[in-house]
Structure 1
Amino acid sequence: MSRRRPGDPRGAWPSVSEIAWGLASDKAAIMLAVALIIMTVLSAGPLHPIDNLINNAPRPFWHELRMPLILGPDTVASRFVALPVLGVTCLQLAYWHRSWRPIILGAVGPFSMVCLVASMKLLFMRSHPRTGDPSFFDDSGVSFPSGHGANAILIYGLVLFLIIRYRAARPNIVRRLGYCIVGIAVLQAMVSVYLHFHWFTDLMTGMVAGGLALVLTIRLDRLIPEGRTVYWWPWYGRSRWNGEGRSAAGGSGEDTGASAGSG
C-alpha cells in the first residue's frame, strides 16, 4: 500500500512491491530484457561466424591508426569521459531546479548498468577477440558484454533524458543531441571492433543492456513522486526534510527558495 502522511502535499510514497511491479511490468523494459536474452543466446554460438568474420577482417593502416584511436575515439564512451559529462549535467539541473532528483537519477542509472554488465561478464567469461575464439566460459577474458557499448547508450542517453525532462534545451537541439548519441554508439562499435577490443556481438549486447538500464531508470523516475526529492533540497531557506521555512525572519529568502523549488 502507498503511504502518505495527512496533509503531505508531496503525493503518496509507493511501497517496494509497487516499485518492483512498476519496473517489472514496463513494456519497453520487458522487450529489452527479452532482446538481451536473445542476444546472449545468439552470441553463445549461432553468431560466431559473424564474430569471426569481422574479427579476422583486414585492418588497413593498423600501425598508423591504432594509438590515435585508443587515445581518441575509444575514450568517448569510457566512464572517464561519459560520467563527468553526466555529472556536470546532473549538478547543473539540480541547482537550477533545487532538487536532488537529477543527482539521484545520475547515480542510480550508471550503478544499475554496472551491476548488470559486471554480473554478465563474470557469469559468461567470454574470451578476448585476440584469442580468435569467441566461446563463453573461458578463463582468458571477460569480454561479453561490452561496457563501452552500454556506456554509450545508458550514460549519454540519461543525459539526453534529463535535458528533455527539465526542458533544458530547445527541440531542435534535443534532436541533434540524439543524433550525436547514435553517432557515439556507432563510432564506439567500429573503433572497438577495429582495435580487437570486443567481438561484434559484445558491443550489440552491451548496447541492449545499456538500453535496458536506461528504460528502468526512466520508469523509476516516473514511479517516485516529484516532491520527495524537491523538498530535500537544503538551500535557499528550505528545511531539509519538509520544505517549511526555517525562520520567519528569512522571508525574502524563503520566497526565493519556494519559487525555485516548485520546478
Structure 2
Amino acid sequence: MTQYRTASRDSSAARLRPFATWLAAVCAALAAVTWQVLVKGPLTAPDWPVHAFVDPRQPDGPLLWAAVAVARMGQRLVTVPPLVALGLWVTLLRRDARPLLAVLAGLGSLAVVGTLLKVATGRTPPVVGVDVVTPGLANVLDWTAAAVVPGAAAFEGYVSFPSGHSANAALTYPLVAWLLFGANGLRPDPRRLRAALWAALLPVAAVGAMMTLLDYHWASETLGGWLLGACVLLVARLVLGRGDTGAVAAGSAPERWRGGPAGAPGGTG
C-alpha cells in the first residue's frame, strides 16, 4: 500500500510538470508582449490600422446589443459569482478544498497582476484617439495612494493594457471545464473535459474579439489579456492538482483517472 501511494504521488507530480512548464512559457510571452507595448515595437504596428478600421464602423441597434452582451461574458461582475459558487460546490461535494482554492488563486492572481500591469504600463485606450504609453513606478504609487489614503485625489492615469475582459474570459471558461470534468472536478471524464476545453475557446475568442471590434482595446491589449488569463489559469490549474484524493458525492472517480501502480496508464488532468 505504501509503495502504491508513493508511486501515485510521483505520478501526480509528473503529470503537473507540463502545466508548470506552460506557465513559464506563457508568462515569458506576456512579458514579451508587455515589452513590445512599452517600446511600441513591431507587435503593436497593427493597433492603429485596426482602430482606424473599426472606429467608424461601430454597430448599432440589436447588433450593438448583441456585441456588448458577448463582451460582457468577460466582465467579472458577471463571471465571478458563478465561478466562486461552482468552486465552492465542487469543494463541498468532494470534501476537498482545492477546487475553491484554485478559483480564489486564479481570481486573486488576475486581480493583483492585472491591476499592476495596467497601472504600471499606463497606456491610453483607443477611445481617446491617441496611443500613448506612460509607464513607471510613480503610476503604481499614485494608484496605491488613491486607493488606500482617505480623501486622496483620484488616480488620473490610463489603465488600458492588458484587456481585463479578455484575461477574465481566458481564466473563467477553461477553469469551469476543469472544475466540471477534470480529474479533481465534479464529474471526472476525460472525453467531456476535452470537449469542454475546446468549447471554452469560443467565449474566450469572442470576448477578446469584441474588445477590439468595439474599440474598447487595442489589438495588442487583447493579446496581452489572453496571455494574462492563460497565466493565471495555469496557476489555478496547478492549485487544483492532479485529483488523486477527495471523494465525489455520487461515487469515486472513474478508474481511468486514478493513479495506479508504477507503469500503469493514467488519465490526463
The TM-score with structure 1 as length reference comes to: 0.70
Unaligned runs of at least 5 residues, structure 1? 1-9, 12-21, 231-256
Cα distance, 1:62 vs. partner?
Answer: 2.4
Cα deviation per residue 1:153-207 (whole Å; 9 max; x = unaligned)? Answer: 1122222222212261544433332232211111112211122111111111111
C-alpha change, 1:136 and 1:184, in structure 2 (3 Å) is same
1:97–1:261 CA contact under 8 A, matched in 2: no
- Output the amino acid matched with 1:156: Y
* CA RMSD of superposed structures (Å): 3.1
Mapped partners of 1:190, 1:153: distance in 2: 12
> For structure 2, which runs of at least 5 residues remain unmatched after alignment?
7-15, 136-155, 254-269
Q: String of CA shifts for 1:38-72, please: whole Å, max 9, x gaps.
A: 111222312332000111104546233334422x1
Q: Which residue of 1 aligns with 2:47?
A: 51
Q: Which residue of 2 aligns with 1:36?
A: 30
Greater mean deviation of Cα atoms: 92-101 or 120-129:
92-101
Query: 2: CA distance between counterparts of 1:80 and 1:36?
Result: 25
Aligned to 1:130: 127
User: Closer, same or farther in 2 for the Cα pair 1:226/1:195, shift >3 Å?
Assistant: same
In structure 2, distance between residues paired with 1:145 and 1:104: 25
Q: By how many angstroms is 1:95 displaced?
A: 2.6
Which structure is richer in relative contact order (CA contacts within 8 A, separation 6 or more)?
2
Following superposition of structure 1 onto structure 2, how do residues 1-263 of structure 1 map, counting pairs within 5 Å? 26-44=20-38, 45-46=40-41, 47-58=43-54, 59-60=56-57, 62-64=59-61, 65-70=63-68, 72-137=69-134, 141-163=158-180, 164-165=182-183, 166=185, 168=187, 170-222=189-241
Check whether the contact 1:152–1:184 (CA below 8 A) recurs between aligned residues.
Answer: yes
- The code of the aligned residue for 1:195 comes to L
SS at match of 1:143: coil
The letter for the 1-side match of 2:127 is R
Letter in structure 2 aligned against 1:48: T
Rg bigger for which structure? 1
SS in 2 for 1:198: coil
**Relative to 1, partners in 2 of residues 1:129 and 1:60: Cα closer, same or farther, differing over 3 Å?**
closer
Equivalent residues of 2:87, 2:99 under 8 A apart: yes
Aligned-pair CA distance for 1:220: 3.4
Relative to structure 1, the CA distance from residue 123 to residue 258 in structure 2 (aligned partners, 3 Å threshold; closer, same or farther) is closer
- Structure 1 pair 124/91, CA: closer, same or farther in 2 (3 Å)? same
Q: CA deviation at 1:260?
A: 8.3
Structure 2 residue aligned with 1:249 = none
Which position in structure 1 is the counterpart of 2:142?
none
TM-score by length of 2: 0.68
